[in-house]
């Protein structure tokens, strides 16, 4: 769900669509509709699958850029300490605790979905190549 939304909003940003008014309704703004709008406006055919891939490329390129600039997994993928150490009440009255272990497990699932290294969060060479980001390979991986 997180990766899908990141990809969606990356494409939304590129098309200049207001995220607050248009993308909250999943029936109006989704990859299918954005691809159709792009194709109608430019005359260039674009499928929903291609639109999603563009979003994935953007998110992965952002990651490669941040890694090139020296940021690491421990700086990029963290939550405030309070969120992983304090118990909070849910709307139904129960208690909820997000532990660092749970967060680490979620990050591993996310990295696996993105096809990034499970331990470091660095996009794998084959992922960068599959997305046509060969020039980002050395920036993201070579510096490590």
Number of domains in the chain: 1
**pLDDT of the chain, 144 residues: tens digit per residue:** 899 989 999 999 998 887 666 555 555 788 999 999 999 999 999 999 999 999 999 999 999 888 888 888 888 898 888 888 777 776 666 677 788 889 999 999 999 999 999 988 999 989 999 999 988 767 666 655
- 137 with 62: CB under 8 angstroms? no
CATH number at residue 115: 1.10.599.10
Q: What six digits make up the tokens of 2?
A: 């997180």
Residue 53, pLDDT score: 97
Structural domain of 117 = 2-142
Return the pLDDT at 72: 85
Rounded to the nearest 5 percent, the helix, strand and coil shares of the chain are: 60, 5, 35
pLDDT of residue 87: 78
What separation in angstroms does the CA of 54 have from each of 22, 25, 32, 34, 135? Answer: 19, 21, 13, 12, 16
Sign, CA dihedral 93-99-105-106, equals: positive
């Amino acid at each position: 769900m997180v990766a899908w939304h990141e990809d969606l909003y990356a494409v939304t940003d590129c098309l200049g669509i207001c995220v607050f008014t248009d993308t909250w309704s999943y029936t109006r703004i989704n990859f299918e509709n954005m691809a159709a709008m792009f194709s109608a406006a430019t005359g260039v055919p674009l499928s929903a699958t291609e639109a999603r891939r563009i979003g994935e490329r953007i998110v992965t390129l952002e990651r490669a850029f941040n890694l090139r600039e020296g940021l690491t997994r421990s700086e990029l993928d963290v939550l405030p300490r309070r969120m992983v150490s304090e118990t909070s009440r849910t709307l139904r009255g129960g208690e909820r605790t997000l532990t660092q272990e749970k967060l680490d497990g979620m990050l591993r699932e996310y990295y696996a979905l993105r096809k990034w290294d499970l331990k470091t969060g660095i996009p794998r060479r084959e992922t960068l190549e599959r997305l046509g980001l060969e020039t980002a390979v050395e920036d993201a991986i070579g510096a490590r």
